[in-house]
Structure 1
Protein backbone atom coordinates (compact mmCIF):
# COMPACT_ATOMS: atom_id res chain seq x y z
CA UNK A 1 0.00 0.00 0.00
CA UNK A 2 2.72 2.46 0.96
CA UNK A 3 4.64 1.62 -2.20
CA UNK A 4 1.72 2.88 -4.29
CA UNK A 5 1.64 6.09 -2.26
CA UNK A 6 5.39 6.59 -2.82
CA UNK A 7 5.00 5.93 -6.54
CA UNK A 8 2.29 8.61 -6.73
CA UNK A 9 4.37 11.09 -4.71
CA UNK A 10 7.41 10.55 -6.94
CA UNK A 11 5.18 10.86 -10.01
CA UNK A 12 3.82 14.15 -8.72
CA UNK A 13 7.29 15.52 -8.00
CA UNK A 14 8.70 14.45 -11.38
CA UNK A 15 5.64 15.69 -13.26
CA UNK A 16 5.70 19.09 -11.57
CA UNK A 17 9.47 19.40 -12.17
CA UNK A 18 8.92 18.54 -15.82
CA UNK A 19 6.22 21.19 -16.16
CA UNK A 20 8.47 23.76 -14.51
CA UNK A 21 11.40 22.95 -16.81
CA UNK A 22 9.33 23.38 -19.97
CA UNK A 23 8.50 26.84 -21.24
CA UNK A 24 4.96 28.01 -21.61
CA UNK A 25 1.72 26.98 -20.05
CA UNK A 26 1.00 23.26 -19.87
CA UNK A 27 -2.79 22.77 -19.96
CA UNK A 28 -2.81 19.25 -18.52
CA UNK A 29 -4.63 18.27 -15.34
CA UNK A 30 -2.85 17.22 -12.17
CA UNK A 31 -3.78 13.55 -12.57
CA UNK A 32 -2.14 13.47 -16.01
CA UNK A 33 0.94 15.21 -14.60
CA UNK A 34 1.22 12.43 -12.00
CA UNK A 35 0.73 9.69 -14.61
CA UNK A 36 3.41 11.19 -16.86
CA UNK A 37 5.76 11.57 -13.89
CA UNK A 38 5.28 7.92 -12.95
CA UNK A 39 5.87 6.88 -16.57
CA UNK A 40 9.02 9.02 -16.66
CA UNK A 41 10.26 7.36 -13.48
CA UNK A 42 9.64 3.88 -14.89
CA UNK A 43 11.33 4.70 -18.20
CA UNK A 44 14.26 6.34 -16.39
CA UNK A 45 14.71 3.27 -14.19
CA UNK A 46 14.60 0.98 -17.22
CA UNK A 47 17.10 3.11 -19.17
CA UNK A 48 19.47 3.29 -16.21
CA UNK A 49 19.33 -0.50 -15.93
CA UNK A 50 20.06 -0.88 -19.64
CA UNK A 51 23.16 1.31 -19.45
CA UNK A 52 24.30 -0.20 -16.15
CA UNK A 53 24.01 2.75 -13.76
CA UNK A 54 20.91 1.81 -11.83
CA UNK A 55 22.70 0.79 -8.63
CA UNK A 56 25.76 2.76 -7.66
CA UNK A 57 27.38 3.52 -4.34
CA UNK A 58 25.77 6.69 -3.07
CA UNK A 59 23.06 8.70 -4.79
CA UNK A 60 22.07 7.51 -8.25
CA UNK A 61 22.29 10.91 -9.95
CA UNK A 62 22.30 9.54 -13.48
CA UNK A 63 19.14 7.52 -12.80
CA UNK A 64 17.39 10.56 -11.36
CA UNK A 65 18.42 12.74 -14.31
CA UNK A 66 17.11 10.10 -16.71
CA UNK A 67 13.81 10.01 -14.82
CA UNK A 68 13.43 13.78 -15.02
CA UNK A 69 14.46 13.76 -18.67
CA UNK A 70 11.86 11.17 -19.61
CA UNK A 71 9.20 13.04 -17.63
CA UNK A 72 10.08 16.27 -19.47
CA UNK A 73 9.84 14.53 -22.83
CA UNK A 74 6.51 12.92 -21.96
CA UNK A 75 4.97 16.16 -20.66
CA UNK A 76 6.30 18.00 -23.71
CA UNK A 77 4.75 15.45 -26.07
CA UNK A 78 1.41 14.95 -24.33
CA UNK A 79 0.59 18.60 -23.52
CA UNK A 80 -0.08 19.67 -27.13
CA UNK A 81 -2.12 16.51 -27.73
CA UNK A 82 -4.20 17.21 -24.63
CA UNK A 83 -4.79 20.80 -25.77
CA UNK A 84 -5.93 19.66 -29.23
CA UNK A 85 -8.22 17.12 -27.62
CA UNK A 86 -9.78 19.75 -25.39
CA UNK A 87 -10.24 22.27 -28.24
CA UNK A 88 -12.11 19.79 -30.47
CA UNK A 89 -14.83 19.20 -27.87
Structure 2
Protein backbone atom coordinates (compact mmCIF):
# COMPACT_ATOMS: atom_id res chain seq x y z
CA UNK A 1 0.00 0.00 0.00
CA UNK A 2 1.40 3.38 -1.01
CA UNK A 3 1.75 5.96 1.77
CA UNK A 4 0.56 9.50 1.01
CA UNK A 5 1.42 12.63 2.97
CA UNK A 6 -0.37 15.14 0.71
CA UNK A 7 -3.09 14.44 -1.79
CA UNK A 8 -4.50 16.03 -4.94
CA UNK A 9 -8.07 15.20 -3.89
CA UNK A 10 -11.12 17.26 -3.08
CA UNK A 11 -11.91 17.70 0.61
CA UNK A 12 -14.96 15.45 0.29
CA UNK A 13 -12.91 12.69 -1.38
CA UNK A 14 -10.27 12.86 1.38
CA UNK A 15 -12.99 12.69 4.03
CA UNK A 16 -14.69 9.74 2.34
CA UNK A 17 -11.37 7.92 2.00
CA UNK A 18 -10.71 8.42 5.71
CA UNK A 19 -14.25 7.19 6.42
CA UNK A 20 -13.64 4.05 4.32
CA UNK A 21 -10.41 3.46 6.26
CA UNK A 22 -12.28 3.75 9.58
CA UNK A 23 -15.01 1.38 8.37
CA UNK A 24 -12.55 -1.20 7.04
CA UNK A 25 -11.65 -4.35 8.94
CA UNK A 26 -7.99 -4.34 8.02
CA UNK A 27 -7.36 -0.89 6.47
CA UNK A 28 -7.15 -2.62 3.06
CA UNK A 29 -10.78 -3.13 2.07
CA UNK A 30 -14.23 -1.93 3.09
CA UNK A 31 -17.74 -3.27 2.43
CA UNK A 32 -19.79 -0.37 3.79
CA UNK A 33 -23.08 0.66 2.19
CA UNK A 34 -23.66 4.16 0.85
CA UNK A 35 -26.05 4.74 3.78
CA UNK A 36 -23.37 3.78 6.28
CA UNK A 37 -20.78 5.98 4.54
CA UNK A 38 -23.17 8.97 4.50
CA UNK A 39 -23.97 8.52 8.20
CA UNK A 40 -20.32 8.23 9.26
CA UNK A 41 -19.01 11.03 7.01
CA UNK A 42 -21.83 13.55 7.41
CA UNK A 43 -22.06 14.03 3.62
CA UNK A 44 -25.15 13.40 1.50
CA UNK A 45 -25.47 10.51 -0.95
CA UNK A 46 -24.71 12.65 -4.01
CA UNK A 47 -21.47 13.95 -2.50
CA UNK A 48 -20.46 10.46 -1.36
CA UNK A 49 -21.15 9.06 -4.83
CA UNK A 50 -19.06 11.81 -6.49
CA UNK A 51 -16.23 11.33 -3.97
CA UNK A 52 -16.20 7.54 -4.51
CA UNK A 53 -16.04 8.10 -8.28
CA UNK A 54 -13.17 10.58 -7.82
CA UNK A 55 -11.27 8.11 -5.61
CA UNK A 56 -11.81 5.35 -8.16
CA UNK A 57 -10.80 7.57 -11.11
CA UNK A 58 -7.65 8.81 -9.33
CA UNK A 59 -6.77 5.22 -8.37
CA UNK A 60 -7.08 5.58 -4.63
CA UNK A 61 -9.59 2.72 -4.51
CA UNK A 62 -10.85 -0.13 -6.63
CA UNK A 63 -14.64 -0.33 -6.48
CA UNK A 64 -16.12 -3.80 -6.97
CA UNK A 65 -19.84 -4.56 -7.14
CA UNK A 66 -20.81 -7.53 -5.00
CA UNK A 67 -23.78 -9.67 -5.97
CA UNK A 68 -26.10 -11.55 -3.65
CA UNK A 69 -27.21 -15.14 -4.13
CA UNK A 70 -30.18 -14.11 -6.28
CA UNK A 71 -27.98 -11.96 -8.54
CA UNK A 72 -29.02 -8.65 -7.00
CA UNK A 73 -26.34 -6.13 -6.13
CA UNK A 74 -25.47 -5.77 -2.46
CA UNK A 75 -22.86 -3.42 -0.98
CA UNK A 76 -19.85 -2.47 -3.04
CA UNK A 77 -16.44 -3.55 -1.87
CA UNK A 78 -13.73 -0.90 -1.87
CA UNK A 79 -10.09 -1.93 -2.03
CA UNK A 80 -8.03 0.82 -0.39
CA UNK A 81 -4.81 1.40 -2.33
CA UNK A 82 -3.15 4.24 -0.39
CA UNK A 83 -2.64 5.31 3.18
CA UNK A 84 -2.54 8.76 4.77
CA UNK A 85 0.18 9.53 7.32
- Do they superpose with TM above 0.5? no
Name which one, 1 or 2, has greater alpha-carbon Rg.
1
TM-score between the two structures when normalised by the length of structure 1: 0.27
